Structures are given as C-alpha cells and as structure tokens.
Amino acid sequence: MSRQLALQDLHYNKSCPNTACQHNGPTKPRPAQHGLLTSLPLVFTLTPDHADHALLHFNSHVLPQLKHSLSLALLHYLPLAGKLTWPPHVHIPTISNAPDDTVSLLVAESSADFNRLSGDYIRKSSESRHLIPELLSYDDRASCMALQIALFSNQGLCIGVSMRHAVLDSISAIAFMKSWAYLCTRLGKRQYPSLLPELTPFFDRTVIKDPVGLCSLYSKNWLDFMGNQRNLKVLEDFGVDRNSVRATFKLNVEDIKKFEEKISSSQPLHLSTFVVTCAYVLVCLVKAREGERKRVATVAVKISNIIREIDGKGLFEGAEETLDKLKNWEEGEERISMGGSNKFTFCEVDYGWGRPKKVEIISIDRTGAFALSRGGDGNSIEIGMVLSKHEMEIFKSLFVSGLQDL
C-alpha cells in the first residue's frame, strides 16, 4: 500500500493546569505492506512501575515507539484519520479521506499528582480534563480523532483519546486501541508487523440493513434539534454542573453473586452482571437525589424484562417510537443515562508496560451518564460517576453500606 498518513504534534494549550508542552515536528511514517472509528473521550493511565519513564528516555524511546505504531495502526483504520463531513447535497454525514490526512497528537509533561488522577477517590471533574485533547469541529466538518500523551515524570504516562461517536462505537474504539498497542509491542520484531485477524477492521457497511430508514430518520431528528442547521460541532452543554466531582466504584464477582442470590430468592429470574450492576447503581443514584425509593430486585426485574423484549423483537423494531419518546419526555421525569458496558475491555490494552492502572471515560462529566467498564483485574466491574459533591457523598455512603448489608 502506498498511502502515507502524518501524525502532527501540536503545541498544548498553555492555559491548561499542570501541563507543559513538548513539541516535535510532523512525521511521515513508512506505509505498512498491507492494510486497508461520545465524541468518546477516554483516558488511559499506564502503570507507574517504571522509573525509566524520565523525560530523556520518553523522548528517545517511548514516544517514537508510540508514534510509529500509531501510524501503522491508522493505515488499518483509515476512517479515523479522515474527516466527518456533511455536504449540502448529502442527507447524512459522511466520512471522507484525503492523501494529506493527519491526526492531531499532542505531547505534554504534567506535574499533576499521578496517583490522585489514577485513583478511585472523589475529586473535582475538572482535574482530568487537561488530559483530553480538543477534537476540532466546525459546522460542516470535524476531525474523527485526536490524541494526547502526557508524561508524569518518574511515575507513568497517560494517553488521552477523543473520538467522534458518529464515526465509531466503543467496540471499534477498543479494537483500535488494542491494535495500536499490539503493533507497539511488535516493533523491532518485524519491520512491518501485521494485525491479528480479530483486530483487523471490517468496513463493508452494506451488511447492515436499514429497511425502515432509521439512518435518515435520526439525521432528520438531529437537523430538527439544531434548528435545521447542519452542525457537526460537539455539544458541550448537557446541563451538567461543571463544578461536579467524579469517583470510581467497583463491584466484584462475589458482590454480583450475592445480589443474584438475593434477587432470585424472591422470584425465578435470569440475571446478568449488566442487569445487577445497573439496578444497584440506579437505586443508589435515585436515593442520593431524594427520588422514589425502590428495591434493587424491582429495578432488576424491570431492566431484565426490557432486555428480554429487545431480544425477542430485535434491536431496531420500534426504534421510531423510542425516538419519539426521547423527544417528548414528560415534564418532571428524570433521565438517567448509562455509557459503556461491563464487557468493555479497555483494561486489556497493553503497550508493552503492562495493563493500565486506570481507565476513565471523561465525557460523562458533560453528559451526566454513569459509565461501566471491566475492572483492571478482569474480575470486577468499574462504575464511573460524576455528581455534585453533596450527591456523591450520599451515593458513596449508600453504595458502600448496601454492599456491607448483602
């Protein structure tokens, strides 16, 4: 393949706290011999076990490896290097690629507390925002992905990724990150390492059938929402308090098993880790907001029935009615959204230094959703929460005491 992609390191915004900029010129990596996705900002904080992550070693060894393997990964995932566009004559946004496509890569050195940012403690949401790069977007075009690598001297490093959810879903994001990491570990072993079959992307969208025209329906809904203006800018205001705090909570295998036994004792029910986790989080969250109190079993049954209904009729049947419900939410009803999944395996991304110490979905401090992902030990579920300080303290108390009472 003759195509080449450029990675461009840009100056970091010096107004961001605790961050200093490292700048390198644009690079043109050699092409691979073969090969051919809410916003989705993610932070990967790598384990701080290697003292040789000093600035000199980072610049001479770690950074070149990350950049080279990233360029190789992008040759397989070309859409991520392109632009999301919405030409006037096209009724839905499209992904366009050009020979001079670049991906913005910011490289910074941070003096922030690595252990604090990679911990589960309650802290201000704003403390993590400087680790996420800006995803450039305009009315008619937008970048699909931007990256930032922040070095915490003699502690570790953080890889922040901003992606357009309109371009790829979380499963594809995981596949890309794993591909990048896999290629990073193969450098030096082969000049042009190839991807494993399970990491190779599949781009034939014709296999996805849309007999009722949901794509056009949702695009029209977006236009209506934006006042009939074609706008690809990332929405910043979801009504979430910008002075909120964030924290991570965990449920282990034993916790899930105890919940399943407790719920099933009242009625026979097929429960999954997802159902139990969502039910418990929702009960604690509603109580923290002084809403209607319900038992975990009651909520679990409701969620389980909804999933069973979707399994029975198919994912897309009734999607038009679901969209109408979302557009016409009754006054006084509270929306609680969830992102991620207990099956998301970002924790398995390994660039050759071991698994990440912490993975966070940063976008929930804009959307107000709670986020699920598989824990770093592979046997637990991590729940990312962003709430007001008052609500977070109550939620934490309810979450911890509820587990103690199992």
Q: Which helix (H) or strand (E) holds 310?
A: helix 296-313
Helix/strand/coil for 161: strand
237-324+335-404 folds as Chloramphenicol Acetyltransferase (3.30.559)
Known catalytic membership, residue 377 = no
Helix/strand/coil for 362: coil
The terminus-to-terminus CA distance of the chain in angstroms comes to: 58
Among 350, 377, 390, 405, which one carries the catalytic annotation? 350
Digit-coded pLDDT (tens) for 101-111: 889 999 998 88
Residue 257 structure tokens: 């098993």
Nearest to 380 by CA among 330, 354, 344, 356: 344
Q: Where in the chain is the domain with CATH 3.30.559.10?
A: 6-221, 237-324+335-404
Work out the pLDDT band at 353, boundaries 50, 70, 90.
confident
Report the Cα 162 to chain-centroid distance in Å.
8
Work out the pLDDT band at 78, boundaries 50, 70, 90.
very high
Q: Is 286 exposed, middle or buried (0-12, 13-18, 19+ CB in 10 A)?
A: middle
The whole-model pTM stands at 0.84
How high is the pLDDT of residue 52?
Answer: 46
6-221 folds as Chloramphenicol Acetyltransferase (3.30.559)
DSSP per-residue codes, 47-108: ----TT-SHHHIIIIIHHHHHHHHHHHHHH-GGGGSEEE--TT-SS-EEE--TT-EEEEEEE
Digit-coded pLDDT (tens) for 298-343: 999 999 988 888 888 887 787 777 777 777 777 667 788 898 899 8
Checking DSSP bridges between strand 145-152 and strand 102-110, what pairing results, if any? Answer: parallel
Among 165, 169, 224, 237, which one carries the catalytic annotation? 165
Asked if 375 and 382 count as a contact pair (C-beta separation under 8 A), the reply is: yes
Known catalytic membership, residue 11 = no
Digit-coded pLDDT (tens) for 13-67: 322 333 333 333 333 333 322 212 233 445 555 544 444 446 778 888 889 999 9
How high is the pLDDT of residue 229?
Answer: 76
C-alpha to C-alpha distance for 174 and 171, rounded to whole angstroms: 5
